[in-house]
Structure 1
Amino acid sequence: MNILLISSRSESGSQAHVRGLAWQDAPLLDRITERLNRRGDDVEHVVLVPADRWSRTRPGRSSHFSTGEQIREYAVGEQIREYAVSGPAAGQCQSQSWRRRAARALRALGTQRPDVIIAVGAEEALALSHDLSVASGVPFMAVVTPGVAPSRSRRAREAFGHALQEAATIIADDSQAQQLLAQWPLFTLVRSDDESPHALADLLLSNVEDAAASAARPRMLFHAPFELAAAPTSASRQRPNKMYEAFLDAGYQVSLIHGDPLQRAQDFQRARRRVDAGQRIDFAYSENSTQPNLLSTSAFRGLAPLLELRILAWCDRRGIPYGQFYRDVYWRFPEKQKSVPLLRRLLMQLAYRVDLWGLRRFRAHLFLPSLAMAEHLPGPAVPSTALPPGAQVREARTGSGLSLLYVGGVGPGHEIDDMLAAVKQTPSASLVVVVPEASWARFGSTYDDLLCDRVTVEHAGSNELGRFYDQASACLLLVRPNQYRRFAVPMKLFEYIGFGKPVIASAQTLAGDMVDDLDVGFSVPYDRDSIAALLRSLTDDPARLERAAENARTERHSQTWQKRATTAAEVLTAGADG
């Protein structure tokens, strides 16, 4: 296997590989090169020497590296060639001119095309590795060593995260992994509970074959007009992460276009470079925002009114099938925009229509929560496919008796009065209500007369819900039916199913229809007497609840996020394959 190893580090450390330059990552690099030499791989190791130290760097007696632009030294083993290349000036690791100069230096050295690129150390190595990977299509791995962090510049941090997100594999010890995952959704990260050089080197080498093999996987673009959050709290931000991860699990190399307008423009430029270099992109999939593209990020982060239209036009011109999950049409319902100032409302209405015009003009395929939503889109029909939320299969114990769980909102749009009243009328039922603390502080007092000692109100984040599902024997999705809910598909429905819980949902809503169609629970008219009657019947005949639970545990495997990603890919590539 041909490997290009790129390392960079300017902090003081314990061992000097180049005279005048202390290398903190030297023990790790020693372990990596030792193991690569033992494997017999053909390795070229590039050391990025900080520009301010380049003139003072001289090869020492125990040096592994020779300086100069075209000098090679076989100091580590017969299969490993190591040489130094001048790195960027401080704070300039994202400079395109430096990366171009470094790439020219590598070509001048006559480096051969590698099967995989490995970046070890600071952001300079990661930036160059990512750039070379984009230009060549060669997958790259990133070893993020303890203490490594991008510079304080927000732009540098964003570029650091976006580069990591395109790595075939990321290696980090557990503490470093936690820091990275707190900032970015990194689904290719492999964690080590041991930060010793031996452990990290072993972990790297155990994954290098898979990383190199990923070059043969199909590539796609994943677009979102906002930054993919590390720990999203709203359903509209959780879904893009789930789909991104599902495409990776389905075996795709995913090139991302996301973030604020400037970052999206840079991601788009990298996508164009890939295609210009002859790389094939099978399709582009987009998750839109509940806001129009123009307003999907803060105006303080910049505006790019035509960027998404340019992406659409480029995909159409290049023959890349483009599909977008069109999340919502709440803007078509005046009652849902009462709190929006008139001027902003008018601007949003215009921007939404421009977005839809672009999707039609450049022949995009729409994915909708349900096909019933299509009739509410203004203008001519657009080719559409239903792509509801997916289920994440997770195990949970079954609560005793009729232990109910509601996870959702309260207040206008989330009326739970009849649900609470029905539980109060049913002595055999208990209920845990998990709602946002701020919402309960604002609206909770309106429910005082409906609460009883069998109702517990809790506040918890999405990653803290497991204990409540362990206590539940059924989950509630009881909302007042209206026109909007005839086509809306709550993510919570599939979260309930993913935990293998039977669902009690309101009749005359699409969620209730889906519960009936999938046979994973019960739909009931949204009034307290009807709900109470159903709860009493389930108490008298608990086998009905167990049958629904068994169906949910079976059906969830057919409703996963991976199934949704596969559906999107099959729809978008059907024309190309035909």
Structure 2
Amino acid sequence: MTRRPIMIFHAAYRLNPNAKSASGIRPVRMREAFSNIGYEVIEVTGSHAERRALIRDVKGRISAGLSVDFVYSESSTQPTGFGEPVTRATSYLRDIAFLRFCQRADIPVGLFYRDIYWRFPLYDALVGRPMATLMRRFYRMDLRGYRRARLRLFLPSMRMAEWVPIVPQDRFYELPPGSDAIDLERPVQAESNRAMNLLYIGGLGSEYRMQETMRAVAGCSDVTLTICTRESDWEVVKSEYRSVLSPNTTVVHRSGDELRELYAASDICSLLMEPSTYREFAAPMKLYEYLGHGKPIIATEGSLVGEFVTANGLGWAIPYSADALRTLLNRLTARPEELEEVRERVRAARLEHTWEARAVQAARILLTGMRT
């Protein structure tokens, strides 16, 4: 019987199969994907105490001759070691030391570096300036540890590399989020007189301003917009949208399997929001979730998402203005064949962006060093 190749999956926290946020979903899906593409996965995750025991065991097995193809690690949105409550077993150095041990044992190691929020002013607003100053020291300590360990760093996009200090640029590789390819059946309805439906699923904070999107839809009698966001998020910002909210826009609060009905009823998904520096390199998981559901995408011109959908013919990138969106929607309403052509391209392309495709990509990079 042929032995399955072995890889180590590491995360300095417990995996949550029921996670709702992108930062919780991705590590779970990547761990599953490595198994799905044929690897025997040795998992080194859990609480501080659990990881301490697992690291000790795995290091012993490697020293005894265990053959491991590579190590793939998923960082937290917090510095290493801060993803779990502090206990007597807490160490802020143990996990990176383990990755360095594997690298020195000639096992290729790659780590997905999730985010760079901490380098932006919005991080100070989020956690307060004193805490931000302290935490930035730990973020930089992580990066120095990655540099010393000579790890390969996976990023959501190569544009993000410009914002990551300390680590040499030649250590970065692109590894965006993935998704499942999901086939949907549209609810039975009179297609000839049905309004075109736009769908947005996600946050509505200061980095996700969509007033111009709502203003455009308010001026289109044959277009509707469904916004699905957390109820707590909506309560915070709804006063900012009062002047642009119209009967054409519906705000709902759903998650999990409840999203399936929203996707089935939609024609186009929206990532059209106010431009920001962060948007210029952000690769949101929702982009790939939209593709997985076979939905064309309207994105902001100049954003990474906008460039991606334009380059691949998977949607439209337009200026963030009500006039630009209204013009596009009127054109698509008058020319439904254009929308159908893009929809077919999305359905054909989505298999290139599954979680399994991402696992194959990561394995190839770690085993060969190839970027494509």
Q: TM-score, normalised by structure 2?
A: 0.94
Matching residue within 23, 29, 32 for 1:236:
23
Q: CA deviation at 1:560?
A: 1.2
Tell me whether 1:314 sits opposite 2:101 in the alignment. Answer: yes
Tell me whether 1:287 sits opposite 2:81 in the alignment. Answer: no
Partner of 1:386: 174
After superposition, give the CA deviation of every residue in 1:233-255 in whole Å (9 maximum; x if it has no partner): 11111111111111011100111
Contact 1:397–1:469 under 8 Å retained in 2? no
Partner of 2:118: 331
CA distance in 2, matches of 1:251, 1:573: 15
Q: CA deviation at 1:483?
A: 1.2
Tell me whether 1:541 sits opposite 2:341 in the alignment. Answer: no
Matching residue within 221, 235, 243 for 2:8:
221
Partner of 1:370: 157
CA distance in 2, matches of 1:340, 1:223: 27
Contact 2:314–2:346 under 8 Å retained in 1? yes
**Structure with higher RCO (Cα < 8 A, 6+ apart):** 2
Partner of 2:293: 499
CA distance in 1, matches of 2:127, 2:369: 41
Residue 288 of structure 2 aligns to a residue whose secondary structure is helix
Equivalent position amino acid for 1:561 in 2: W
After superposition, give the CA deviation of every residue in 1:126-183 in whole Å (9 maximum; x if it has no partner): xxxxxxxxxxxxxxxxxxxxxxxxxxxxxxxxxxxxxxxxxxxxxxxxxxxxxxxxxx
- Judge which range, 453-462 or 420-429, deviates more: 453-462
Q: CA deviation at 1:380?
A: 4.6
Partner of 2:221: 427
After superposition, give the CA deviation of every residue in 1:94-114 in whole Å (9 maximum; x if it has no partner): xxxxxxxxxxxxxxxxxxxxx
Contact 1:366–1:385 under 8 Å retained in 2? yes
Contact 2:226–2:249 under 8 Å retained in 1? yes
After superposition, give the CA deviation of every residue in 1:234-289 in whole Å (9 maximum; x if it has no partner): 11111111111110111001111112211111121221232234221111001101
Q: CA deviation at 1:302?
A: 5.0
CA distance in 1, matches of 2:182, 2:365: 28
Equivalent position amino acid for 1:299 in 2: V
CA distance in 1, matches of 2:88, 2:186: 47
Residue 199 of structure 2 aligns to a residue whose secondary structure is strand
Report which of the two structures shows the higher radius of gyration computed on alpha carbons: 1
Q: CA deviation at 1:504?
A: 0.7
Residue 126 of structure 2 aligns to a residue whose secondary structure is coil
Partner of 1:532: 326
Aligned residues: 363
Q: How do 1:426-505 residues align onto structure 2 when only pairs under 5 Å count?
A: 426-505=220-299
CA distance in 2, matches of 1:442, 1:277: 56
Unaligned runs of 5+ in 2: 188-193
Partner of 1:406: 200
Q: 1:380 to 1:469 in 2, by over 3 A?
A: closer
CA distance in 2, matches of 1:519, 1:397: 23
Partner of 2:191: none
Identity %: 38
Equivalent position amino acid for 2:241 in 1: Y
Contact 1:294–1:351 under 8 Å retained in 2? no
After superposition, give the CA deviation of every residue in 1:525-569 in whole Å (9 maximum; x if it has no partner): 001111111111111111111111111000001111111101110
Contact 2:207–2:276 under 8 Å retained in 1? no
Contact 1:260–1:297 under 8 Å retained in 2? yes
Partner of 1:353: 140
Residue 207 of structure 2 aligns to a residue whose secondary structure is coil
CA distance in 2, matches of 1:300, 1:339: 25
Residue 81 of structure 2 aligns to a residue whose secondary structure is helix
Q: CA deviation at 1:303?
A: 2.4
Q: CA deviation at 1:300?
A: 5.1
Contact 1:312–1:358 under 8 Å retained in 2? no
Q: 1:454 to 1:467 in 2, by over 3 A?
A: same
Q: TM-score, normalised by structure 1?
A: 0.61
Matching residue within 32, 35, 43 for 1:248:
35
Residue 127 of structure 2 aligns to a residue whose secondary structure is coil
Residue 449 of structure 1 aligns to a residue whose secondary structure is coil
Contact 1:282–1:320 under 8 Å retained in 2? yes
- Judge which range, 335-344 or 425-434, deviates more: 335-344
Residue 338 of structure 1 aligns to a residue whose secondary structure is helix
CA distance in 2, matches of 1:571, 1:445: 47
Contact 2:14–2:47 under 8 Å retained in 1? yes
Contact 2:229–2:254 under 8 Å retained in 1? yes
